[in-house]
């Protein structure tokens, strides 16, 4: 089985979100970048398929040279090979077009992406890839087993889960559950050393347009200060008469 | 030319987010000088949609679509958009809508913006505001394609009534077998509980509650308010509560009217997922807990003292206001 894990390179969850150039660009100053948490769950599941079922695992990112440390980290965790499509990810559609091309060229059986990336929260790239390639697609995937060309997955739904049966080729939008938090791996010294000599191939993008222009960004107004009360009578009264939520 | 809106239902009953989506569609239709057409899959009492501004309802009834199937549902909505020559299509932000949206976008060749919170600033160019960076910022973006797909964030626009007389039509899309390769074999769902996605009020507990044996009061508080229960990430990682209750940046998003956080410190990743709730109340024994900076109302105190009192008070309040 040949697996491709789509890795989006995002600001660490504790980052301060600021913008520059008249609020038209995300300010990367002082920001740590990491593997998107939803993708890290997928990558970890891919390692399981590699170790238990002999799968080959490639990772891919659409981005500039600055994303290479993130791809090296994925190699250190255990992926066999990395691909960077050398382009600025202008919108989800553009990224999906690039990745669909990589998927077709590489003849992958299984593509693991995330439910959403935590920067632009698009939640669209894996679904778009599936429609562009004709792969089956499962979103908000919380467990995945593959047996030959059959796959059994669970999907989180509002208020519960669904068990789904489908077949390869398949793409999933994964999240916590596809592996547990405690299964995540911190790269060790050996992995980091090995990652240095694993292939990281840079390819040029295919021709594609974008559909969305991000013109500028703004931040929510600073919050008024909290009203503290010292008894539940006042609280209930405020929630009823002032906030009008009960 | 009409604005098309997909109205989600469950076991035939329309969800509240469907009414909100129709209200929003009506707002855009007014800007465009056109009308709203709603499409419903196996929804009953479709005439209700007129109340929020739908002039026409296309009703699909099909046993093949009893279980949700993203590819097939996206195809149905695309066929409806084609029939109505709709250039603007509105959907909600439920798990199912977010699943089908990217498929529909490719199908329609429409630019898709999710998590939209307001009506467009302008129609030409088509400029729209959405939540990004896990509710820590807004993006103003332009959809440059002729067709536009808008995913409306829950509770952002609200339900607006505008009595419109609506025509009900049966709609029979072509449902291709090719769309049904991915099959739901079983569904596990607690039907007696209110889900976090649907709830107007969510009561959430954190590590400050010390252990799973102390959740009785959280459940009782939720029951008193008709609320859903939720928890912070470590609480689900420790196995005190099921993963399905984990809310925050890496868990479920919450955008309820009222969010009550008990014994939760208010870490940035937690707040990112709950910040779009309208009113936030925090009960925490540490006055320095970061959640107090994000909350509207707070009690600095011991949860084990205040939560039982709050339950008591709310029960009295309910019987007085019944
Ligand atoms: C990549 C990443 C993603 C993450 N995603 C999420 C996420 O999606 N959701 C999430 O919740 N977290 C997430 N976290 C974890 C987050 O950083 C915090 O660790 C977590 O939210 C803390 O949970 P807590 O508030 O329950 O526990 P704690 O931080 O331990 O806080 C417990 C609170 O309870 C209070 N307390 C103690 N006793 C009492 C009492 N008797 N009465 C009242 N109050 C009391 C304390 O004062 C304290 O403020 C993530 C972390 C990372 C690194
Ligand atoms: N630039 C990118 N390079 C590689 N994969 C990406 C990129 N952007 C998004 N993805 C994948 O698509 C998923 C959903 O991203 P999004 O649609 O941007 O929220 C992510 O979790 C990744 O798996």
CA distances, B46 to each of B39, B55, B102, B166 (Å): 9, 11, 26, 9
CA-nearest residue for atom 16, ligand 1, is B267
A166-175 per-position pLDDT tens digit = 999 999 999 9
- Residues B283, B284, B287, B288, Cα dihedral to 10°: -120
B133-189 per-position pLDDT tens digit = 999 999 999 999 999 999 999 999 999 999 999 999 999 999 998 888 899 999 998
**Between chains, do A159 and B244 touch, taking CB under 8 Å as contact?**
yes
CA B223, distance to chain mean position in Å, is: 21
Answer whether B244's CB lies under 8 Å from B233's CB.
no
Strands B54-60 and B137-143, by their bridges, are: unpaired
Mutate which: B182, B192, B258, B262, vs A, most A CBs within 10 A? B182
Confirm or reject: Cβ of A6 under 6 Å from ligand 2.
yes
Q: What is the pLDDT of residue B189?
A: 86
Which bound ligand lies closest to the C-alpha atom of A212?
2
Tokens 């009492």, located at residue? B45
Alpha carbons A129 and A138: distance in angstroms, whole number:
12
B216-255 per-position pLDDT tens digit = 999 999 999 999 999 999 999 999 999 999 999 999 999 9
Answer whether A108's CB lies under 8 Å from B98's CB.
no
**Between chains, do B189 and A159 touch, taking CB under 8 Å as contact?**
yes
A-B CB pairs within 8 A amount to 250
Tokens 């074999």, located at residue? B185
Omega within 30 of 0 (cis) for the link into B125: yes
Answer whether A211's CB lies under 8 Å from B143's CB.
yes
Q: What is the pLDDT of residue B321?
A: 85
A176-233 per-position pLDDT tens digit = 999 999 999 999 999 999 999 999 999 999 999 999 999 999 999 888 899 999 999 9
Of A136, A138, A164, nearest to B185 by CB-CB distance is: A164
Cβ partners under 8 Å of residue B80, min gap 6: B4, B37, B39, B58, B86, B171, B173
**Between chains, do B138 and A219 touch, taking CB under 8 Å as contact?**
yes
Q: Report chain A residues whose CB lies below 8 A from the CB of B185.
A: 163-165
Answer whether A236's CB lies under 8 Å from A118's CB.
no
Q: What is the pLDDT of residue A224?
A: 87
| Six token digits for residue B256 | 């309820």
Q: How many helices (H) and strands (E) does chain B have?
A: 8, 17
Tokens 């067709």, located at residue? B147
Of A136, A176, A223, nearest to B243 by CB-CB distance is: A176
Q: B122 CB near a chain A CB, below 8 Å?
A: no
Answer whether B101's CB lies under 8 Å from B78's CB.
no
Q: What is the pLDDT of residue B192?
A: 78
Q: A241 CB near a chain B CB, below 8 Å?
A: no
Burial B180-218 (b: 16+ CB within 10 A, else e): eebebeeeeeeeebbbbbbbbbbbbbbbbbeeeebbebb
Mark the ranges of chain A whose per-residue pLDDT is less than 70. Answer: none
| Six token digits for residue B31 | 């800007």
CA of A227 to the centre of ligand 1 (A): 22
Confirm or reject: Cβ of A114 under 6 Å from ligand 2.
yes
Cβ partners under 8 Å of residue B268, min gap 6: A13, A14, B290
Q: What is the pLDDT of residue B178?
A: 86
Alpha carbons B128 and B105: distance in angstroms, whole number:
17
Which residues' Cβ are closer than 6 Å to ligand 1? A 13, 37; B 206-208, 232-235, 248-251, 263-265, 267, 269-270, 273, 283-286, 289, 302-304
From B235, B248, B267, B291, give the residue whose CB has the most ligand 1 atoms within 8 Å, as the site to mutate: B267
Q: A174 CB near a chain B CB, below 8 Å?
A: no
Query: Between B70-84 and B95-108, two packed helices, what is the crossing angle to 10 degrees?
Result: 50
Answer whether B206's CB lies under 8 Å from B212's CB.
no
Q: What is the pLDDT of residue B221?
A: 98
Q: Is B147 helix (H, G, I), strand (E, B) or coil?
A: strand
| Six token digits for residue A180 | 């547990």
Give alpha helix (H) positions in A54-180.
68-77, 92-106, 125-133
Confirm or reject: Cβ of A3 under 6 Å from ligand 2.
no
Q: A76 CB near a chain B CB, below 8 Å?
A: no
Mutate which: B106, B178, B236, vs A, most A CBs within 10 A? B106
CA of B205 to the centre of ligand 1 (A): 9
* Mean pLDDT, rounded, of chain B: 96
Q: Which of B269, B100, B264, B242 is nearest to A37 (CA)?
A: B269
**Between chains, do B183 and A181 touch, taking CB under 8 Å as contact?**
no
B67-116 per-position pLDDT tens digit = 999 999 999 999 999 999 999 999 999 999 999 999 999 999 999 999 99
**Between chains, do B102 and A125 touch, taking CB under 8 Å as contact?**
yes
Q: What is the pLDDT of residue B322?
A: 76
């Amino acid at each position: 089985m040949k697996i491709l894990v789509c890795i989006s390179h995002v600001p660490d969850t504790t980052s301060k979100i600021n913008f520059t150039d008249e609020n038209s660009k995300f300010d990367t100053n002082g920001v740590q970048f990491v593997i998107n948490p939803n993708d890290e769950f997928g990558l970890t599941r891919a390692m399981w398929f590699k170790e238990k079922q002999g799968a080959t695992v490639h990772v891919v990112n659409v981005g500039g040279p600055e994303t290479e440390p993130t791809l090296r980290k994925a190699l250190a965790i255990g992926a066999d090979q990395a691909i960077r499509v050398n382009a600025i990810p202008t919108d989800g559609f553009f990224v999906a077009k690039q990745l669909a091309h990589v998927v077709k060229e590489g003849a992958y059986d299984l593509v693991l992406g995330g439910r959403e990336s935590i920067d632009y929260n698009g939640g669209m790239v894996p679904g778009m890839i599936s429609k562009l390639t004709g792969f089956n697609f499962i979103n908000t995937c919380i467990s995945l087993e593959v047996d030959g060309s059959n796959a059994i997955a669970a999907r989180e739904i509002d208020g519960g889960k669904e068990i789904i049966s489908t077949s390869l080729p398949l793409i999933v939008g994964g999240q916590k559950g596809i592996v547990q938090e405690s299964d995540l791996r911190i790269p060790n010294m050996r992995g980091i050393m090995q990652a240095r000599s694993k292939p990281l191939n840079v390819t040029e993008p295919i021709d594609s347009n974008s559909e969305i222009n991000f013109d500028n960004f703004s931040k929510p107004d600073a919050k008024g200060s909290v009203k503290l009360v010292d008894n539940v009578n006042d609280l209930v009264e405020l929630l009823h008469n002032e906030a009008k939520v009960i | 030319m009409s604005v098309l809106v997909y109205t989600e239902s469950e076991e035939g009953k329309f969800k509240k987010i469907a009414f909100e989506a129709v209200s929003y569609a009506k707002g855009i239709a007014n800007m465009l000088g056109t009308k709203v057409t709603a499409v419903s899959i196996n929804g009953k009492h479709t005439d209700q949609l007129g109340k929020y501004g739908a002039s026409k309802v296309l009703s699909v009834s099909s046993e093949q679509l009893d279980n949700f199937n993203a590819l097939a549902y996206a195809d149905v909505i695309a066929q409806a958009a084609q029939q109505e020559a709709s250039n603007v299509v509105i959907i909600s932000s439920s798990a199912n809508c977010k699943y089908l949206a990217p498929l529909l976008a490719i199908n329609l060749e429409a630019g898709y913006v999710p998590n939209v919170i307001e009506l467009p600033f302008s129609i030409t160019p088509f400029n729209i505001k959405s939540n990004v960076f896990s509710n820590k910022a807004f993006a103003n973006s332009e959809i440059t394609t002729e067709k536009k797909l808008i995913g409306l964030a829950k509770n952002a626009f609200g339900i607006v009534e505008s009595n419109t007389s609506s025509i009900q039509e049966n709609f029979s899309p072509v449902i291709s077998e090719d769309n049904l390769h991915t099959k739901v074999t079983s569904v596990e769902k607690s039907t007696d509980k209110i889900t976090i996605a649907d709830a107007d009020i969510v009561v959430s507990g954190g590590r400050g509650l010390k252990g799973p044996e102390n959740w009785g009061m959280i459940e009782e508080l939720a029951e008193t308010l008709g609320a859903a229960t939720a928890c912070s990430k470590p609480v689900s990682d420790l196995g005190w509560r099921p993963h399905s209750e984990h809310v925050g940046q890496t868990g479920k998003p919450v955008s309820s009217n009222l969010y009550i956080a008990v014994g939760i410190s208010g870490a940035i990743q937690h707040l990112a997922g709950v910040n779009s709730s309208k009113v936030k109340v925090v009960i925490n024994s540490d006055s320095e807990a970061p959640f107090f900076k994000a909350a509207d109302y707070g009690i600095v105190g011991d949860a084990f003292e205040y939560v039982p009192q709050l339950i008591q008070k709310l029960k009295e309040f309910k019987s007085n206001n019944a």
